Structure 1
Amino acid sequence: MPAREAATSRPAPGTHTLFLDGDCLVFSAPRQEVHVLNSSAGVVWCALEDGLSPTEVSDVLAERFGLAPDAARAGLAAALAALRSYALLDGGAAPPVAAAPAPAAPAGLPPLGTPHFVADTQYALLGTRFRLRCTDTAVLGWVDPVLRHLATPPGAVDIVLALVGSATAGRYVLYQDNLPVGECSAVNGAAPLVKGAIWSSAVNRFDFLIGIHAGVVGGADGGVMLLPGRPGRGKSTLTAKLLRAGGRYFSDEMALFGTTDLRITPLPLPLCVKAEGRAALAEDYPDLATLPLHLRADGRRVAYLPPPPASLPAPGTSAPLRAIVFPHFRPGEASRLSPLRKAEALRRLMAECMVKRRPLELGHMRSLLGLMQQTACYDFSFATSAEALRLLRPILNLG
């Protein structure tokens, strides 16, 4: 074995071995990553942790899997290459992942000055109270219907937002506590701008462990189901459908896990429905076709669907996690709900982590493993909403 390979065949500092339902996982605290190892890589990793030399590890592989010496050496080389690619081995490992820098204030935006405000409303999210002031009543007509379910009576606030501009000027600038934070060129871009500011500010002021990109729906037993995944997987459609079936609305954006208890806190922003996705919800939400289309900063045209009032949990509540379902919208294929190994489910879940309040430590990961052990996990392919509801409603105990 080459000298370099032998020299780097030690676990990197800050790596920790964990087990979940018989699967071996490695948590890298410096890189804030969790990796699931296959059976041979798991044997190699544990042997390296025990201080065995590469030759001794090769012998362990040969004995464990009944391999010839050449095959064992080849298996060891493949496992070491995989571990090295994950930066889990000492010496030559990639540096720790740096924290993302705080977004810089937009350049070229004017100071607030002393505009004349003609509209004033208040909203609350995650315990943070916002005051929104506008210089144009028309723009409030685009923003307020999107956030009205978060409205609160006048009172003391934590953050003041000011939306300054007009359609005539062709520019709206959003200020947060007198500082410019963003702009749009048309009235249909104002609601995404304000919604984003409220979302990010409320989350930044809230104490949580991790935020996972997921739809979140509560069931009849008080627990919640997560629908994690990238855009286009059908999360918002499934979330909206499950609300009409009696589910409680927690979020179609992010699942916030509590710092110590890992309970999920509601983040009930309006459901975001892409223009091309409205037809799938037309039967359940007839008014959706009449809602205006907003223009997001990424160029997507979306409708904001206020959640049914009866689906909203009380502010300040939280709920335990009951199930995680990873959806895949696959037209033309048979719908299938398949149990998923807990280690793979955790890997996929952490891949959808959007934000951490603080760096994860070994204790946090052990708590997450304990949570996964008692959580039902599924891979879910669906072709139609009707089939999806048939398979998902029993998980939430919805009639």
Structure 2
Amino acid sequence: MLEKSSVEMALRPSVGAVFALLDGRSVLFSETSQKLYELDQVGAFIWCKLAQGASLEDVHRELGRLGIDEHAARQFTRQAMNIWIDRALLDIDWRMPANCTFSADLGRRRISVRAANWDLLQQLIPLFCALDDNGGEEDIVIEAMVLDDQVFFRGNDARVHRCEAGALAPTIKAHITERLIRSDRWVFALHAASLAKCGTGLLLCGQPGAGKSTLTLRLVNAGFQYAGDDVALVGADGTVCGIPFALTLKEGSWAVLSRLYGDWNDATHCRPDGAQVRYLPIPDAHNGCLSASWIVFLNRVASGPVELTPLDQLGSMKRLIDGAFAADGRLSQAGFSALKRIVAGARSFQLTYSESAEARGLLMDLCNGKA
């Protein structure tokens, strides 16, 4: 059971939501989605009570006076509330306690996280490799609270989002990552882990399941500097900036984690896609731009020897374009030029492997000039 939020809060209709009666039928109009939503009698009753400033407990009591038992009243209210919040019809106003917060730097942006209680805050701290509470202007602010045994959060856009408690950290990570990608500092992003070796960058490119995080874990253990395990942001000048969240490891990597770091007993989190993950904060993570010296496309196979195959610039370019994504879904001319700079300044390879330990050895030889 989650610790209850110690915040002042109120539910209210969103600015763009309008209640109306049409032929005696209750409807909501959403200015945002340009849609009409019809309400049944109970839904209309709940909406009108909330619009009058009633609390959830007030709504439950009023439904009880109509002959609806407490369990059903809570179920009806929660279901309606969730639907309206997801459709941006209902807002939650709240005020966070001043002392339940921390800050961190990611992707050259300052992130501030505020929570309604220490239980929520402790779930989010493991997401970050290092905290930075030295002050400064906040670029991205996240606030999280508990209501009716669910977690609700909002960012700078003030829109309220919700998730289950076990999915809070992965959901917040996805939210912040999307915000960073949409920043005008970057022309596009790559599905790539990023590491630094002697001041230059190594990109491990591949879709989910290619083994980026496991291989990154092994390389960090071998002395590489960690810069990010999932998304790399690309500037117009062709430099790359990882997003150094704590290293995210799915269940298949936990055995390697245990061998390298002993009995790692961090909490398990559930991503929205159902995958179970754990977070490993990496000390001294690189938080800034790098020039890529090596681009490695991972080709994970069931069995066979490890093999490093050189790629020409055109082959590398095609693969990078396939793995690139931008805030508006399009690769711009500026993005293409940045990709060209990256490819021109780096050596590109395909790494075919089945065992991450063997792949690590070959990559170490490559970056040390032995392969």
Quick check: TM above 0.5? yes
Cα distance, 1:285 vs structure 2: 2.5
Report the AA paired with residue 273 of structure 2: D
What corresponds to 2:303 in structure 1?
Answer: 332
For the aligned residue pairs, the C-alpha RMSD in angstroms reads 2.6
Cα distance, 1:176 vs structure 2: 1.6
Asked if 1:303 is matched to 2:278, the reply is: yes
Asked if 1:264 is matched to 2:240, the reply is: yes
Deviations 1:271-295 (A, max 9, x none): 111123211332222253x011111
Cα distance, 1:301 vs structure 2: 1.2
**Aligned residues with identical type, % of pairs:** 26
1:231-246 alignment runs, 5 A limit? 231-246=208-223
What corresponds to 1:97 in structure 2?
Answer: none
Deviations 1:191-224 (A, max 9, x none): 112222222223323512221101111112x211
Match of 1:125 among 106, 120, 123: 106
Cα distance, 1:143 vs structure 2: 1.0
Asked if 1:174 is matched to 2:149, the reply is: no
Asked if 1:193 is matched to 2:171, the reply is: yes
Match of 1:351 among 311, 322, 331: 322
Unaligned segments of structure 1, at least 5 residues: 1-104
Report the AA paired with residue 104 of structure 2: Y
Distance 1:318 1:336, change over 3 A: same
Deviations 1:65-95 (A, max 9, x none): xxxxxxxxxxxxxxxxxxxxxxxxxxxxxxx
Which is richer in strand? Answer: 2
1:126-145 alignment runs, 5 A limit? 126-145=107-126
What corresponds to 2:188 in structure 1?
Answer: 210
Match of 2:162 among 178, 183, 189: 183
Asked if 1:322 is matched to 2:293, the reply is: yes
Distance 1:140 1:246, change over 3 A: same
In structure 2, C-alpha distance between the alignment counterparts of 1:347 and 1:173, rounded to whole Å: 40
Deviates more, 1:169-178 or 1:109-118: 109-118
Distance 1:149 1:371, change over 3 A: closer
TM-score by length of 1: 0.65
Match of 1:249 among 226, 245, 248: 226
Distance 1:342 1:139, change over 3 A: same
Cα distance, 1:392 vs structure 2: 0.2
Deviations 1:322-360 (A, max 9, x none): 111111222321111111232122111111112257954
Deviations 1:297-327 (A, max 9, x none): 12211111112x13x22x4x32211111111
Report the AA paired with residue 372 of structure 1: V
Aligned with 1:124: secondary structure? strand
In structure 2, C-alpha distance between the alignment counterparts of 1:359 and 1:184, rounded to whole Å: 29
> Any conservation in 1 of the 2:188–2:335 contact (CA below 8 Å)?
no
In structure 2, C-alpha distance between the alignment counterparts of 1:379 and 1:110, rounded to whole Å: 49
Cα distance, 1:363 vs structure 2: 6.5
Distance 1:115 1:210, change over 3 A: closer
Distance 1:223 1:165, change over 3 A: same
Report the AA paired with residue 303 of structure 1: R
Asked if 1:229 is matched to 2:206, the reply is: yes
In structure 2, C-alpha distance between the alignment counterparts of 1:109 and 1:244, rounded to whole Å: 48
In structure 2, C-alpha distance between the alignment counterparts of 1:248 and 1:163, rounded to whole Å: 31
Cα distance, 1:370 vs structure 2: 5.0
> Any conservation in 2 of the 1:211–1:257 contact (CA below 8 Å)?
yes
In structure 2, C-alpha distance between the alignment counterparts of 1:303 and 1:398, rounded to whole Å: 34
Asked if 1:113 is matched to 2:93, the reply is: yes
1:23-34 alignment runs, 5 A limit? none
Distance 1:160 1:340, change over 3 A: closer
In structure 2, C-alpha distance between the alignment counterparts of 1:286 and 1:398, rounded to whole Å: 31
In structure 2, C-alpha distance between the alignment counterparts of 1:216 and 1:120, rounded to whole Å: 28
What corresponds to 1:219 in structure 2?
Answer: 197
Deviates more, 1:346-355 or 1:389-398: 389-398
Aligned with 2:260: secondary structure? coil
Asked if 1:283 is matched to 2:276, the reply is: no
